[in-house]
Amino acid sequence: MPVTVELQETQALISLKGSFTINSATELKSLLLECATSGKDLVFDLVEAVEIDVSTLQLLFAAAREAERAGLSISSRLSDAAAITARDAGFANFPRITQG
């Protein structure tokens, strides 16, 4: 599960590359919780995610919700695979999606 978190001055850039399934959920949850409580805007970069399942989308959506409650902004860039999974799973309102 290649995840990188780059804490910048005003934002936390969370990049997911490769495959993300229920098997990586526990580790991803810890990273996302840390980022969501960092006080920084969240940027999800899933452009290089080749496989992503609903459990991963749920974690990302929950982190985005927590950040929004704290008054932070959220944006995301999705690969075609992630965008299709989000749409098919009913996540049409996934945080501020930019595909590609």
22-65 pLDDT, tens digit each: 988 888 888 888 888 889 999 989 899 888 888 888 888 888 88
| 52 burial via Cβ count (<10 Å: 0-12, 13-18, 19+) | buried
Model confidence pLDDT, tens digit, residues 64-91:
888 888 888 888 888 887 778 778 888 7
Find the CATH number of the domain harbouring 82.
Answer: 3.30.750.24
Residue 58, domain extent: 3-99
pTM for this model (two decimals): 0.79
Q: Is it the case that residue 93 has pLDDT exceeding 70? A: no
Cα dihedral across residues 15, 86, 83, 74: positive or negative? negative
- Which spans in 1-100 are helix H? 25-36, 54-69, 80-88
Q: 39: helix, coil or strand?
A: coil
Q: What's the domain count of the chain?
A: 1
Using an 8 Å Cβ cutoff, are 32 and 60 in contact?
A: yes
